[in-house]
Amino acid sequence: MSEIAEVKPGKIADWINSLEPGRYSAKIVGKVPKTFFTNAQSAMSDKTDLLIDFDFSEATFGALPKNPFKKFICMSSVKLPKGLPVGNPNWVNPEGICRKSFEDCDNLESVEIIDGDSDLYTYDSVLYKDTTAVFCPRKRSGEVKIKDGTAGIDVKAFELCQKITKINFPDTIEYIGESAFSCARSLTEIILPPSVRSIGFRAFESCQSAKHIIIPPTIKRLPDRSLSGLQCDGCSVELNEGLTEI
């Protein structure tokens, strides 16, 4: 990896276009305008052999554009300052930071908010809002520990995280959202604690590597396709007698 380059926001496109294939680190210095995001996105659009670790921890931001980091295809990690506005992922094009802020960031491994507060923070490279895990980068790999005190996993939070092998859930988790772990194809086990009371539609769909599955007695209903697509040869599956619908 190269040395960290200090890049002014207005020069981001020129800097990206000057790079040879490889992995680089950029510390963004100064105030970041909305045009930064479109310029960076355009410069990255044909760079399939480039990875960039972005550090915005000492930058300042004006108003964020909608889906600010969408299609930052070269971004491999990002550090953000605290205090950025929180976006609503239920909107088609939310302003602020949320899951949709990182759509099509297919090489993203890590998100970190420096000294984040209760509204928006990160833990183990996963983005949280209040007591809900809302987004995990697609290239995050290995074992993930969900923060103690977390109450829920949001809709599509870990969708397409195909390199994650294990999730450690705390005993505070109460709900798993729709498609929360859909297509997490390397996940080797699904072990839910007794605190979980609801599982969403397609929550663990196509988790084809899962060989050890435990559904606690608190779950009375498994929604349609919540466990579909499993490769069940050699699986150990523990369902509870209280299930009324599968």
CB atoms inside a 10 Å sphere around CB 48: 10
Q: At which residue do the structure tokens 């294990």 appear?
A: 166
Residue 95: predicted pLDDT = 78
The pLDDT value given to residue 151: 97
- Given a contact cutoff of 8 angstroms between Cβ atoms, the answer to whether 112 and 134 are in contact is no
Question: Quick one: pLDDT at residue 168?
Answer: 97
DSSP label at residue 63: S
Residue type, 73: I
Rounded to 5 degrees, φ, ψ at 168 are: -100, 105
pLDDT digits (tens, 9 = 90+) for 155-174: 999 999 999 999 999 999 99
Per-10-residue mean pLDDT of the chain, 246 residues long, equals: 87 97 96 96 95 96 90 97 86 82 95 85 95 96 97 96 97 97 95 95 92 89 81 71 60
How many whole angstroms separate alpha carbon 76 and alpha carbon 152?
A: 26
C-alpha distance from residue 2 to each of 25, 53, 72, 139 (Å): 7, 11, 20, 21
Cα dihedral 168→77→207→211 (10° resolution): -50
Task: Determine the pLDDT at residue 239.
Answer: 74
- Return the pLDDT at 32: 96
Per-residue pLDDT, 242 = 66
Q: What does the pLDDT read at residue 202?
A: 94
Beta bridge partners of residue 60, listed in sequence order: 31
